[in-house]
Structure 1
Amino acid sequence: MLQLNVQNETSRLKAVVLGTAKSNGKTPTLEECYDPKSREHILAGTYPVENDMITEMEEVAKVFEKYNVTVFRPEIIENYNQIFSRDIAFVIEDKLIKANILPDRDKEFEAISHVIKQIDKNKIIQLPEECHVEGGDVMPWNEYIFIGTYSGNDYADFITARTNIEAVEAIQKLFPNKKVKSFELRKSNTNAKENALHLDCCFQPIGKSKAILHKNGFLIEEEYNWLVNYFGKENIFEITKEEMYNMFSNVFSIAEDVIISEKSFTRLNNWLRKENFIVEEVNYSEIAKQEGLLRCSTMPLIRL
């Protein structure tokens, strides 16, 4: 049996689900798009091709191997996008919470049934139907659970609004011993530079007490300021709109001092090294074209 344990974003990783780009299917139509960045690349004729994405994901698998992390991969569904495993479920403490995601994506959860079977079924939580949530919006951080949300009356109009206030309340009930802190995110169906698809598109804690942050991803300035005060200005790497668009905050921690990052993120990677992180650089720029990066394609199961 898998003894799930995730208390935060950065403790030493022991087991993870890494998505797959195999049999990813044809380039979607504009109507099939879930986010503005994919739309942009479809229109420009630069949408990523399967082989390039497979190569990129294998680079990440090799880094995990180097650090002795147990890696699970989804079973292949023919012609189906299964890259972003973070969306389909997430672990907090010793519980796996199944995300109520876009209905078209239910098959993705079934494709990790070989992993689910190894988990005590009492530890698998299905939230009520009215709770919408995706793993990219949920960050356990020791005594806190940070959650990105959107509570505007026009929630239903945004295909980019993935986590609602009902889910925030349900997670607080599930973990009464945690402080659940929600953040209103900026949403746009059409402009990728004005859209924080998930919380990890504009914020991520790293190490023990540092964070990557992008102010414009937050709708409410006080909520952004809360994070600045919590981590301390000197511990924050503030990214620009262009860097948010390129997914600078969507790196992935293997340990408190080891981070997998995209090799083109020069400004960030140099800062991380200056702050004594080991940076494992990989190519992930093709996958980034679908508005997701390293954190989006990984679902931690066990951190020590």
Structure 2
Amino acid sequence: MRVESEFAPLRTVVVSRSEFHAPARAEILGHSMPVEDSAVEILNAVWGKDFGDVFPDRQKRWEAEREELADLLRRHGVEVLRPRLFTEVEKDAAGETGCANFFVRDPWFTVGDHVIEGVLQFPHRRMEVLPSRDLLLDRVLPAEAHYVSLPQPEVSPLGHPGSGPFLEGGDVLVLGKHVFVGSSGMATNDLGVRWLAKYLRPFGFTVTPVPLPEHVLHLDCAIGLVRDGLLIACPQRLPGGLPEPLRDWDRIEVGEDEAAAMATNGLPIDPDTYVIDVEFERVGKELEARGVTVEYLDFAVSRLFGGAFRCSTQPLLRAD
């Protein structure tokens, strides 16, 4: 189990399921859920309910999007694993908090040969690691890789997440021994960044915090690394600019509206092949002009929930 960078050849990956039982009321979240503007009405219709019960046709399309992504990756020779679904016991235990099993990028992640279970800030996502646990025990526990998890966060009233630590995979970008970690206050927080820096330092990694505006959930909603020397970025979402090691890279810039619709959230299969939504043909053409082969998929339903291809995948092996 090893991830050398965001764009090292993808060998083994976990592709998300499509489960969402919404919290009973908005106040439980503590923050506004980061969804596309077009999804606000949809979200308001599902408080306390299962998304698939309210929108069965969209649920089928959502599931199909993930299957189409899995099939595309298999055609490129990638081993695809899937988390299980929530059990009835788990769904009952979630209660009015709700539960989500839709973006496997966030509850755990891999840096080098370190597989790390994080802690998610939104209450309805706190159990999201559980459907992946069998995969982790099967693949990671017998391997030479390190396998650790963050300390359990404090118990706090619903709507008040407490001090954490919170650390989410969507905020973590890997570039060799450089690790960039976003922090907007909505997901990863300072305590989570400090924990990761302390853990990884003895292994030779440098952790660089990247401030994000408070409305941006994760770093991969602002930056996407395509290959060595090429990235996609939204300048409006990077108040401190790009991290120093990335400032000389060729960049494809996207605006706030494009970033909010997940233009930075594509997926490199290898340094020469990139998956992006059909919505972002302009970005795709800029990639193609730089010699990158672009694979287009329609991820419209997944994007309603504030994530796309990177959010929907979690690599266990990315290495030459």
TM-score tier, shorter chain, comes to 0.7 to 0.9
The alpha carbon displacement at 1:162 in A equals 0.7
The alpha carbon displacement at 1:288 in A equals 0.4
| 1:50-106 alpha-carbon deviations (Å, 9 max, x no partner) | 111011111101111101211111111267531200011000011111011134324
* Distance (Å, rounded) in 1 between the aligned partners of 2:245 and 2:223: 9
Taking only the aligned residue pairs, the percentage that are identical comes to 23
Q: 1:191 aligns to what?
A: none
Q: 1:127 aligns to what?
A: 150
The match for 1:62 among 61, 64, 71 is 71
Q: 1:175 aligns to what?
A: 200
| 1:155-213 alpha-carbon deviations (Å, 9 max, x no partner) | 4xxxxx111112212212222212211111001xxxxxxx2210000111111211111
What SS does the aligned partner of 2:40 have? helix
- TM-score, length-scaled by structure 2: 0.80
The match for 1:251 among 266, 280, 288 is 266
Q: 1:229 aligns to what?
A: 247
The alpha carbon displacement at 1:114 in A equals 2.1
- Preserved contact between residue 36 and residue 261 of structure 2 (Cα < 8 Å): no
Q: 2:33 aligns to what?
A: 35
Alignment of 1:272-291 (within 5 A): 272-291=287-306
Q: 1:82 aligns to what?
A: 101
- How many residue pairs get matched? 279
* Distance (Å, rounded) in 2 between the aligned partners of 1:32 and 1:273: 44
Q: 1:46 to 1:279 in 2, by over 3 A?
A: farther
C-alpha RMSD over aligned residues? 2.4
The residue identity in structure 2 corresponding to 1:7 is E
1:139 aligns with 2:167: no
- TM-score, length-scaled by structure 1: 0.84
Q: Which moved more, 1:35-44 or 1:251-260?
A: 35-44
What SS does the aligned partner of 1:108 have? coil
* Distance (Å, rounded) in 2 between the aligned partners of 1:224 and 1:254: 23
- Preserved contact between residue 112 and residue 176 of structure 2 (Cα < 8 Å): no
Alignment of 1:1-304 (within 5 A): 4-21=1-18, 23-25=19-21, 30-31=26-27, 35-37=33-35, 41-43=39-41, 49-77=58-86, 81-102=100-121, 103-118=123-138, 119-120=140-141, 123-128=146-151, 129=153, 130-150=164-184, 155=185, 161-176=186-201, 177-187=204-214, 195-220=215-240, 223-224=241-242, 226=244, 229-231=247-249, 235-304=250-319
- Preserved contact between residue 89 and residue 97 of structure 1 (Cα < 8 Å): yes
- Preserved contact between residue 30 and residue 42 of structure 1 (Cα < 8 Å): no
- Preserved contact between residue 252 and residue 259 of structure 1 (Cα < 8 Å): yes
* Distance (Å, rounded) in 2 between the aligned partners of 1:229 and 1:113: 37
What SS does the aligned partner of 2:2 have? coil
What SS does the aligned partner of 2:127 have? helix
Q: Which moved more, 1:196-205 or 1:41-50?
A: 41-50
Q: 1:44 to 1:173 in 2, by over 3 A?
A: closer
Unaligned runs of at least 5 residues, structure 1: 156-160, 188-194
* Distance (Å, rounded) in 2 between the aligned partners of 1:99 and 1:225: 23
Q: Which moved more, 1:127-136 or 1:112-121?
A: 112-121
Q: 1:143 to 1:295 in 2, by over 3 A?
A: same
* Distance (Å, rounded) in 2 between the aligned partners of 1:16 and 1:36: 25
Q: Which moved more, 1:267-276 or 1:73-82?
A: 73-82
- Preserved contact between residue 34 and residue 217 of structure 2 (Cα < 8 Å): no
* Distance (Å, rounded) in 1 between the aligned partners of 2:307 and 2:172: 15
* Distance (Å, rounded) in 1 between the aligned partners of 2:23 and 2:150: 32
- Preserved contact between residue 30 and residue 39 of structure 1 (Cα < 8 Å): no
